[in-house]
A = this chain, B = another copy of it.
């Protein structure tokens, strides 16, 4: 959740409502609790008796829906919504979802969380056969595939289309008479179903959104599943039986909100267990434990509880940090002027600190925090990371697509410790992470995708394979 501070970004959040006269508001408030999954654009499409209408724009949800009429004009009792993080080169308004497709005979709206690994191939194939794509979005690709699929009905066309795409995806499709949720065969991204008090349904990326709209959790969408909700209720089908559960471990470590449950595991509780396990694996003599706010506070309190050290507030995050802030000039940056994080001098001065963070990407933030703690008088700073070293990119929906920026891909733990300037550095082990999360799926790594840490990708990489192998090779040559 500390995406203001760390350069690690989720690519989207989706939410759908079926069967509520307040579908627009439900979607809006539900999306608001998914805002941490994407801050660069948002949109909602509603369905009023078979007529679909939408509104979307750049910015946070509150910026997009600036005026009540932006929301109230979206009438109807079903809706899908989307918050997005924009990857490089795709900041255009035309890429903001949900996409609303107006055909002469029918309408569809589509929203997407994830990343297709064969999108370039599919796009080229589509254009060669005369298609015109307006965006660089994976949602538009799926719509083209559905429209071109042979099949007796929409459901058959959807199955055909889903069988053509690869990667991580959680799609919501709003038609004129149904809400359809679709999850990739590995279930990389979370997607949960809840029941509204009035009998309606909600489908959302995280269960925190279910709570926000006062819905009761029913179950998660399964890998390879197509869930159709319509006037007759909820129907399930699968577009493939070749599924292996590989839920993204970074959702537990960093992305998801602490009040969400993913695959039945509460995120805060998992993080606290990671902190406890980390304390067991990397114990050190110290005076107090402090966490990097906000995403590491659960792990830090777990570390403190397990170690018996007091849990203190040694770092304060400015809660008014916004997107459009004026940045300090170089002169001030060198003086260390920092508007985001403040060190509490009177807490840390003269103390030996265990500093708990959830992960290290580039290491620059860690280096800065350690420096500031020492300037404030900390005797020593022992950096403890509540996850294993982050060495490999993600191709299933997280914005780390090259190894270049990952410090752990190029430095040993001792080198990183020196770079960061900490007195010691410890990471949670892979098995420690798996145990702390506690997922019990019958699948490798108990059902987690651990590729960030060990490069063991659960699927072929398709369009990304060549560049990825080249980068591995380049790294190997550089090291030798």
Residue ranges of A at the interface with B (Cβ–Cβ < 8 Å)? 1, 22, 25-26, 28-29, 32-33, 35-36, 39, 60-62, 65-66, 68, 71, 93-94, 101-105, 120, 123-124, 127, 129-134, 140, 143-144, 147-148, 197, 208, 211-214, 257-259, 261, 266, 268-269, 272, 294, 297-298, 301, 305, 310-313, 316, 318-320, 322, 324-326, 328-329, 331-332, 335-339, 342-347
| A197 CA to B208 CA, complexed, in Å | 46
Contacts of A94 in B (CB 8 A): 94
Check B132–A105 contact: CB distance below 8 A: no
User: Do A144 and B132 touch (CB < 8 A)?
Assistant: yes
* CA of A140 to CA of B132, assembled, Å: 9
**Contact A35 B320, beta carbon cutoff 8 Å:** yes
CB contacts (< 8 Å) of A33 on chain B: these are: 318, 339, 342
Provide the residues of chain B in CB contact with A301, threshold 8 Å.
Answer: 311-313
Please provide the 10 A-B residue pairs with the shortest distance between their CB atoms, ordered closest to farther: A266-B346, A259-B344, A130-B148, A35-B320, A259-B316, A134-B134, A62-B322, A259-B342, A268-B313, A32-B339
Which residues of the other chain, B, contact A313 by a CB distance below 8 angstroms? 258-259, 268, 297-298, 301
Asked if A36 meets B319 with Cβ closer than 8 Å, knowing A131-B131, A268-B347, A346-B261, the reply is yes
A29 close to B62 (CB less than 8 A): no
Which residues of B are found within 8 Å of A123, using beta-carbon distances? 104
Q: A214–B22 contact, CB under 8 A?
A: no
27 contacts between A and B (CB under 8 A): A1-B319, A22-B329, A26-B332, A28-B326, A29-B337, A32-B318, A33-B342, A35-B320, A36-B319, A65-B326, A68-B326, A101-B132, A104-B120, A130-B130, A130-B131, A131-B131, A212-B338, A214-B335, A259-B344, A266-B344, A266-B347, A294-B319, A297-B313, A298-B313, A301-B312, A311-B311, A319-B319
Find the B residue at minimum CB distance from A70: B326
- Judge whether A328 and B29 touch: CB under 8 Å: yes
Which residues of B have CB within 8 Å of A259? 313, 316, 342-345, 347
Determine the distance from Cα of A29 to Cα of B257 in the docked complex, in whole angstroms.
29
**A329-B130 CB under 8 A given contacts A318-B33, A346-B269:** no
A258 x B344 contact (CB < 8 A) = yes
Q: For residue A268, which residues in chain B have a CB less than 8 angstroms away from its CB?
A: 312-313, 316, 344, 347
Give, as a whole number of angstroms, the nearest-CB distance from A80 to chain B: 18
- Which residues of chain B are within 8 angstroms of A65 by Cβ–Cβ distance? 326
With A62-B325, A311-B301 already in contact, the answer to whether A127 and B105 are too (CB < 8 A) is yes
A132 touches B147 (CB 8 A): yes
* Cα separation A36 to B316 with both chains bound (whole Å): 13
Nearest residue, chain B, Cβ from A337 = B29
Complex: A1 Cα to B213 Cα, angstroms: 26
Contact present for A326 and B60 (CB under 8 Å): no
Q: Enumerate chain B residues within 8 angstroms of A131, measured Cβ to Cβ.
A: 130-132, 147
> Within 8 Å CB of A297, what residues of B?
313
Q: Is the CB of B148 within 8 A of A127?
A: no
CB proximity of A184 to chain B, nearest CB, Å: 23
- In the complex, what residue of chain B is closest to A140 when comparing beta carbons? B132
